[in-house]
Amino acid sequence: EGLKDLFTDSFYIGVAVNGQQVSGKVPEELALIERHFNSLSPENGLKWEKVHPEMDRYDFEFGDAYVALGEKLGAFTIGHCLVWHQQVPNWVFVDEAGRLLGKEALLSRMEDHIAQVAGRYKGKIDGWDVVNEAFNEDGSYRESNWYKVAGKDFIKAAFRKAHEVDPAAELYYNDYNVWKASKRAGILTLAKEMKAEGIQIDGIGMQGHYMLESPSLEQIEQGIIEIAEAGFQVMITELDVDVLPRPGNTQGADLNINFANSPKYNPFANGISPESAAKLSQRYTDLFQLFQKHKDKISRVTFWGLHDGRSWLNNFPVRSRTNYPLLIDRDLKVKEDVFAKLK
């Protein structure tokens, strides 16, 4: 029995996959993906800098292998992400003289990118993160190049284009800290406005980059309820639980681990302290209890990575650490104590 089988009546269980995994170079990881997950997200391979590194060059090697894997597994296959301020090359925003483009020129570049990428995978990607991380914590718009040049119209134009290119695909807005009321208010105001204007937007992804004690379950629950009440699917899109302290923000971190002495990254090392392991287990139990309670609102819960050795949290917010944020450890063993309590 896999993780996905615990939740067949509730929501998809997804995993973010990388290039090695989709190209079949790590068969033992592929076997775990197949066993435990029924939805896939591309961790990096469909981001602008990867799929469209130069103005006249697209690289679909990852994407083609990715959608083929999705088809083979019969998985609900996510595209991530069409428009973001990170992992996007600078040439996108400037002309030959290096000057920032005007609105029309930038939006046409963006629409062209969407046509190429979403167009190639039409019918093969079930849902797209159309726009990622466009809001600040206080609910105002992030001052990205996209926003500076085009205002919030860049978001509307991106959703319009994605729908035009692949009318059957679901379309999502995705962000972190959606549990924060102020940030969520900005997102929902725009999402409702778009809906009222007839622009398709099906769901809001709450990136689940959580810590052991923060955010609170109440904060997450409030987010789930409000998004659903506004008429959108809720997705927990990038779930992991950081067990290490964060510089400048120890709130919610595991204070038993001294930040300065946190272990050096070793992809093969295990050794989470028993205290942290117990907290991690409890955190996942609590989170999944909450998700189950709201299974009528939540369509998918996606882990950001397959196992601890592959997690981006080994390098974020600080490089070269040994983190333990997922349900499968570095030895590719499912954390059975957590697994047993999940449903």
How far CA 144 is from CA of 8, 49, 56, 170, 296, in Å, comes to: 39, 16, 23, 25, 35
Instruction: Indicate whether 240 belongs to the interface with ligand XIL (CB under 6 A).
Output: no
Using a 10 angstrom Cβ sphere, with 0-12 exposed, 13-18 middle and 19 or more buried, the burial of residue 201 is buried
The token pair at 58 is 């697209």
Instruction: Indicate whether 21 belongs to the interface with ligand XIL (CB under 6 A).
Output: no
Q: How many C-beta neighbours within 10 Å does residue 168 have?
A: 9
Instruction: Indicate whether 207 belongs to the interface with ligand XIL (CB under 6 A).
Output: yes
Binder among 49, 312, 318, 332 for ligand XIL (CB under 6 A): 312
- Collapsing DSSP states into helix, strand and coil, what is residue 65? helix
Closest contact distance (angstroms) between CB of 183 and ligand XIL is: 14
| Residue 28 is among the residues annotated as catalytic for this protein | no
How far CA 307 is from CA of 94, 168, 324, in Å, comes to: 39, 32, 8
Closest contact distance (angstroms) between CB of 240 and ligand XIL is: 9
Could you give the CA distance from residue 277 to residue 268 in angstroms, rounded to a whole number?
Answer: 17
Closest contact distance (angstroms) between CB of 239 and ligand XIL is: 11
Binder among 132, 177, 299, 314 for ligand XIL (CB under 6 A): 132
When the beta carbons of 57 and 319 are compared against ligand XIL, the nearer one is: 319
| # residues contacting ligand XIL (CB under 6 A) | 6
Closest contact distance (angstroms) between CB of 207 and ligand XIL is: 6
When the beta carbons of 256 and 315 are compared against ligand XIL, the nearer one is: 315
Closest contact distance (angstroms) between CB of 314 and ligand XIL is: 10
The token pair at 41 is 């997200």
Find out whether 289 and 250 touch, Cβ atoms under 8 Å: no
Catalytic residue chosen out of the listed positions 111, 164, 238, 336: 238
Find out whether 115 and 161 touch, Cβ atoms under 8 Å: yes
Instruction: Indicate whether 265 belongs to the interface with ligand XIL (CB under 6 A).
Output: no
When the beta carbons of 45 and 245 are compared against ligand XIL, the nearer one is: 45
Tell which positions 219-238 bind ligand XIL, by CB under 6 A: 238
> Which residues, other chains included, contact 204 with Cβ-Cβ below 8 Å and sequence gap of 6+?
172, 173, 174, 175, 178, 187, 188, 191, 227, 232, 233, 234, 235
When the beta carbons of 10 and 81 are compared against ligand XIL, the nearer one is: 81
- E-assigned strand segments in the chain: 12-17, 39-42, 76-83, 127-132, 170-175, 203-206, 209-211, 233-242, 298-303
Binder among 4, 38, 43, 125 for ligand XIL (CB under 6 A): 43
When the beta carbons of 179 and 339 are compared against ligand XIL, the nearer one is: 179
Phi, psi of 329 (to 5 degrees): -90, -175
The token pair at 224 is 């789930």
Strand partners, 17: 42
Could you give the CA distance from residue 229 to residue 189 in angstroms, rounded to a whole number?
Answer: 13
Closest contact distance (angstroms) between CB of 312 and ligand XIL is: 3
When the beta carbons of 207 and 233 are compared against ligand XIL, the nearer one is: 207
Please report where in the chains the tokens 């991106």 appear, as a residue: 158
When the beta carbons of 44 and 285 are compared against ligand XIL, the nearer one is: 44
Instruction: Indicate whether 44 belongs to the interface with ligand XIL (CB under 6 A).
Output: yes
Find out whether 182 and 215 touch, Cβ atoms under 8 Å: no
Residue number, nearest CB to ligand XIL? 312
Closest contact distance (angstroms) between CB of 5 and ligand XIL is: 26
Q: Give the binding site for ligand XIL (CB under 6 A).
A: 43-44, 132, 207, 238, 312
Active site residues: 238
